Amino acid sequence: MRPVGATEAQESAVNVRVIAATNKDLELEVSEGRFRQDLYFRLNVITVHLPPLRERRADIPALTQHLLQKVYERAGLTAPARVEREAQKLLNTHGWSGNVRELENLLERLSVVVGGGKITSDDVRRTLNSQTKRATGNGSIEYISVLYDHESFDEHLDRQQIELYYRVLEAAGGNHTEAARRLKIKRTTLHERIKLAERRLAVF
C-alpha cells in the first residue's frame, strides 16, 4: 500500500473492517445484474436493517433535540431553537419519506427562520406544506418540490413519489381504492409503487 503523501508503496500490516450502507435492495440489484454478486457476498456478513423513521416514531423527539443542537453548532446561531409541544406532535406524526435526512433539513430551515426562538406548530405546518407535493381535498395536486442537500436526483424522485402517495391516501381518508382513482392508477399499482419507493429509501 502507499500511504497518503508517500512516494513509494510500503509493506504494512492492516486490520480493516468495512461498513457499507445503501438504500438499494442489493439482492434485487444482483439478480438484475447491476451489482457484483461476489462483492455482495463479501459485504453481506452481518446485515443491520434500519427501519424508516415513520416506523420508529418514539425516536423522533430525541432526534429532534440532537439535530437542533447540531444545526446550532454548524450555523453559529445564538442558541438552539426550541420546539413547542404541538409542533413536536406534528413532527412525530409526519410521514418522513425522506427519513432522518428530511427531518434534519426541515429543522435547519426552521432554525434559520426562528433563530434561537421557539418553533411553533404553524412554523412546522407552513414549512412542510411548502416543500412537498400536497393533495387537496378534491384530489388535485399542488406541486412544490425541494431537492434536499446531499440528495441524489433519483432519491429526490423516490421521496417525492412516496410523499405524494401518502398525501393522496390521507386526503382519501386512508381508502386505497379512492386514492388509486385520484392518482389514475390501479390499486395494485399503488401498492407496488409504495413498496418499491419504501424499499429504495428504507435506510435513510
CB 10 within 8 A of CB 188: no
pLDDT-based confidence at 30, cuts 50/70/90?
very high
Query: Residue 143: phi, psi to the nearest 5?
Result: -110, 110
Q: What is the pLDDT of residue 142?
A: 43
Sequence-ordered strand ranges (E) for the chain: 82-83, 118-119, 134-135, 141-142
Which of 146 and 141 is assigned the larger pLDDT? Answer: 146
Q: What is the pLDDT of residue 117?
A: 85
Cell of 177: 381504492
Tens digits of per-residue pLDDT, 142-163?
A: 444 454 444 566 666 666 677 7
Most distant CA pair in the chain, distance = 69
The whole-number average pLDDT for the span 122-127 is 85
Rounded to whole angstroms, how far apart are CA atoms 107 and 77?
Answer: 13
Q: What is the pLDDT of residue 135?
A: 40
Query: Residue 26: phi, psi to the nearest 5?
Result: -65, -30
User: Residue 82 pairs with which residues in a beta bridge?
Assistant: 118
Tens digits of per-residue pLDDT, 62-120?
A: 999 999 998 888 777 778 889 999 999 989 988 887 788 889 888 988 887 787 789 99
The whole-number average pLDDT for the span 191-196 is 78
Q: What is the pLDDT of residue 203?
A: 41
Buried b (16+ CB within 10 A) or exposed e, 12-37: eeeeeeeeeeeeeebeeebeeeebee
Question: How many CB atoms within 10 Å of residue 111?
Answer: 23
**Nearest one of 150, 179, 138, 181 to 162, comparing CA atoms:** 179
Question: CB-based contacts of 117: which residues, under 8 Å, 6+ apart?
Answer: 81, 82
The CATH class of 53-201 is mainly alpha
Location of C-alpha cell 508517500: 6
Q: What is the pLDDT of residue 151?
A: 55
Instruction: State the pTM of this model.
Output: 0.53
Q: What is the pLDDT of residue 102?
A: 86
Amino acid of residue 166: Y
Span(s) in the chain for CATH 1.10.8.60: 53-201
Q: What is the pLDDT of residue 36?
A: 94
What is the C-alpha R_g of the chain?
A: 21
Rounded to whole angstroms, how far apart are CA atoms 109 and 58?
Answer: 23
Q: What average pLDDT does the chain have?
A: 79
Q: Does residue 10 have a pLDDT over 80?
A: yes
Give the distance from CA 136 to its chain's centroid: 23
